[in-house]
C-alpha cells in the first residue's frame, strides 16, 4: 500500500473529530448566550399597571330583572247599546282624561230624555193646580164654609204630586246619564292601543271586547323580585326613607330612567324564596314600555369615605385576598386585605391598604414579594400591558446580518461568531 493510501484515512478521521468538537463548542457558546439573555431578562423590572387607592363615597346597589307594567290599564267598553257613528281617536294617540273616543247614535236616548222632561212639566202643572185647590179648601175650612176632610184630602194629593215630580226629576237625571254614555270618553290619561271596533258597527252595553285599551305609561311601574336574604337590608333602608331605583340599558351601565321604590309585597313567594317589589318611574322619555323586561338596581346604602381600589387589583390565594402594593423603591409587597364590598369596577377595602398607596392592577405573572417593577401607566386598570420582548435591546436582524447598500451593490457582513476550526488545523 502506498504512503498516500495510509495517510488519507488518518487525515479524514482527524477532520471528523475536529468538526464534531467545533460543533460541540459552538453549541455550548449558543447555550451560554441564551442563558445570559434569559438572566438579563429576569433582572429587568417587571412591567405592570398600577392605580392609587382612593377615598370615596361608594353606593351599594342590589341588582334584579324587572317587568315593566302600565301604572293603569283600562279596556274601554260601551255602557249603552247602539251603532257607532263616529270614531274620534287614532291608534297610538296620547289622550287626556275626558277625551271623546267614539260616539253611539244618540237619537233613541235623546227621545227618552225629552220624554222624561215633558212628563215632569206635565206633573208640575198638575201640582200647581192642586196647590191652588189646597189653599182654597184650607181657607173655606177655616171659615167653616167647607169640610175639613176635603182640605186634608187635597193636602195628601199635593204631597203625592210633589213626590211624582221628584220621580220625574230622577227619570230625567237617569235619561241624561244614559244619553251622555253615547259619547265614550277616556277614563284616564294614557296612550291608546289598537282599535277594536270600527265605525258603523253595532255594540252592546259592557261588550267583552270593548272599544280600545288605554294604558298609562307616564308614570310607569316596574316590578322585580329580590332574594329573601336581602329583604332585611331593603326593609330597614325603606323604613328610613324613599329608596332610589335605576332602570338600566342592555349594556348594564347606562341609566335610562330614575325612579323610587313604592311598595314591598306583604308576603314572600314560597316557591322561589323571593319577595316582590314595585317601583315607579316618571318615564318622561318613554324609554320604558309595558311588558318590557329591564335590568334595575336598587340603592340601599352609601358607604361614606371608604378606601377603594380597582377590582382587578384584588388577588386570591390560599390565605385569602391580597394585593400587590408598589413601594417607593419600585418593589412590590404582598399585602393581605379585607374586602367589604366589590363590584365589576372597584372594591371597598376594610383594612390592609391606605389611601394614595399604589396597587398593581395588571401584570401579575412575574410578581412575588420583593420583585422590582416598572409602572408603565398609573390609574389605567383596564389596559393590558404589552408582553415582554426578549429581543428588546438587541439589534434587528437586518443590522445583525449587516445588509448594506453601497454604490448600488449589496454587501453582506455576518455577525461575529466563533469560527469553527478548519479541517486543516
pLDDT at 1: 52
pLDDT at 377: 74
* Lowest mean per-residue pLDDT among 11-25, 101-115, 184-198, 395-409: 395-409
Average pLDDT over every residue of 218-229: 95
Residue 385: pLDDT band (50, 70, 90) is: very low
pTM greater than 0.85: no
Identify the CA nearest to 314 among candidates 269, 349, 285: 349
Residue 249: pLDDT band (50, 70, 90) is: very high
pLDDT at 175: 96
Condensed to tens digits (0 to 9), the pLDDT of residues 79-138 reads 999 999 999 999 999 999 999 999 999 999 999 999 999 999 999 999 999 999 999 989
* Chain center to CA of 352: 34
Instruction: Kindly state the cell numbers that stand for 306.
Output: 371608604
- Say how far apart CA 327 and CA 109 lie, in whole Å: 92
**Number of other residues whose CB lies within 10 A of the CB of residue 163:** 12
Half-sphere exposure of 302 (CA within 13 A, CB side): 6
* Lowest mean per-residue pLDDT among 67-81, 125-139, 160-174, 373-387: 373-387
Contact by Cβ (8 Å): 340, 348: yes
Instruction: Kindly state the cell numbers that stand for 199.
Output: 265605525
Average pLDDT over every residue of 154-159: 93
* Chain center to CA of 372: 43
Instruction: Kindly state the cell numbers that stand for 307.
Output: 378606601
- Say how far apart CA 87 and CA 390 lie, in whole Å: 80
C-alpha angle with apex 350: 346 to 351, nearest 5 degrees? Answer: 115
Condensed to tens digits (0 to 9), the pLDDT of residues 54-91 reads 999 999 999 999 999 999 999 999 999 999 999 999 99
pLDDT at 35: 65
CA dihedral sign, ordered 136, 139, 145, 148: positive
Q: Which domains can be identified in the chain, with CATH numbers?
A: 46-57+305-378 (2.40.420.20), 62-69+223-298 (2.40.30.170), 72-203 (2.40.50.100)
- Say how far apart CA 386 and CA 47 lie, in whole Å: 8
Amino acid at each position: 500500500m502506498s504512503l498516500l493510501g495510509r495517510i488519507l484515512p488518518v487525515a479524514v478521521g482527524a477532520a471528523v473529530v475536529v468538526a464534531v468538537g467545533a460543533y460541540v463548542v459552538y453549541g455550548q457558546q449558543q447555550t451560554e448566550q441564551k442563558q445570559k439573555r434569559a438572566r438579563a431578562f429576569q433582572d429587568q423590572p417587571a412591567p405592570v399597571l398600577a392605580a392609587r387607592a382612593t377615598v370615596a363615597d361608594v353606593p351599594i346597589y342590589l341588582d334584579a330583572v324587572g317587568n315593566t307594567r302600565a301604572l293603569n290599564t283600562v279596556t274601554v267598553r260601551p255602557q249603552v247599546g247602539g251603532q257607532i257613528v263616529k270614531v274620534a281617536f287614532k291608534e297610538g294617540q296620547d289622550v287626556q282624561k275626558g277625551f271623546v273616543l267614539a260616539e253611539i247614535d244618540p237619537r233613541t236616548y235623546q227621545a227618552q230624555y225629552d220624554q222624561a222632561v215633558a212628563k215632569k212639566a206635565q206633573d208640575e202643572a198638575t201640582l200647581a193646580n192642586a196647590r191652588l185647590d189646597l189653599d182654597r179648601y184650607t181657607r173655606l175650612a177655616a171659615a167653616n164654609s167647607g169640610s175639613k176632610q176635603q182640605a186634608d184630602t187635597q193636602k195628601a194629593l199635593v204631597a203625592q204630586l210633589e213626590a211624582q215630580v221628584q220621580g220625574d226629576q230622577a227619570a230625567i237625571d237617569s235619561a241624561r246619564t244614559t244619553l251622555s254614555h253615547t259619547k265614550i270618553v277616556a277614563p284616564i290619561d294614557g296612550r291608546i292601543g289598537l282599535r277594536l271596533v270600527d265605525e258603523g258597527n253595532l255594540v252592546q252595553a259592557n261588550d267583552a271586547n270593548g272599544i280600545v285599551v288605554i294604558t298609562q305609561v307616564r308614570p310607569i311601574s316596574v316590578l322585580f323580585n329580590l332574594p329573601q336574604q336581602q329583604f332585611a337590608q331593603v326593609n330597614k333602608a325603606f323604613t328610613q326613607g324613599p329608596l332610589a331605583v335605576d332602570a338600566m340599558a342592555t349594556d348594564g351601565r347606562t341609566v335610562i330612567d330614575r325612579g323610587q321604590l313604592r311598595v314591598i309585597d306583604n308576603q314572600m313567594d314560597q316557591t322561589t324564596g323571593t319577595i316582590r317589589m314595585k317601583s315607579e318611574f316618571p318615564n318622561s322619555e318613554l324609554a320604558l314600555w309595558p311588558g318590557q323586561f329591564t335590568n334595575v338596581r336598587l340603592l340601599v346604602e352609601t358607604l361614606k369615605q371608604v378606601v377603594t381600589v380597582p377590582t382587578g387589583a384584588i388577588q386570591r390565594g390560599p390565605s385569602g385576598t391580597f394585593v400587590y402594593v408598589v413601594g417607593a423603591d419600585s418593589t412590590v409587597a404582598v399585602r393581605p386585605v379585607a374586602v367589604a364590598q366589590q363590584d365589576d369596577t372597584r372594591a371597598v377595602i376594610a383594612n390592609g391598604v391606605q389611601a394614595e398607596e399604589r396597587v398593581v392592577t395588571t401584570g401579575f405573572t412575574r410578581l412575588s414579594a420583593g420583585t422590582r417593577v416598572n409602572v408603565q401607566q398609573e390609574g389605567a386598570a383596564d389596559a393590558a400591558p404589552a408582553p415582554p420582548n426578549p429581543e428588546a435591546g438587541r439589534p434587528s436582524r437586518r443590522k445583525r446580518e449587516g445588509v448594506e447598500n453601497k454604490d448600488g451593490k449589496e454587501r453582506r457582513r455576518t455577525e461575529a461568531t466563533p469560527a469553527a476550526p478548519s479541517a486543516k488545523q
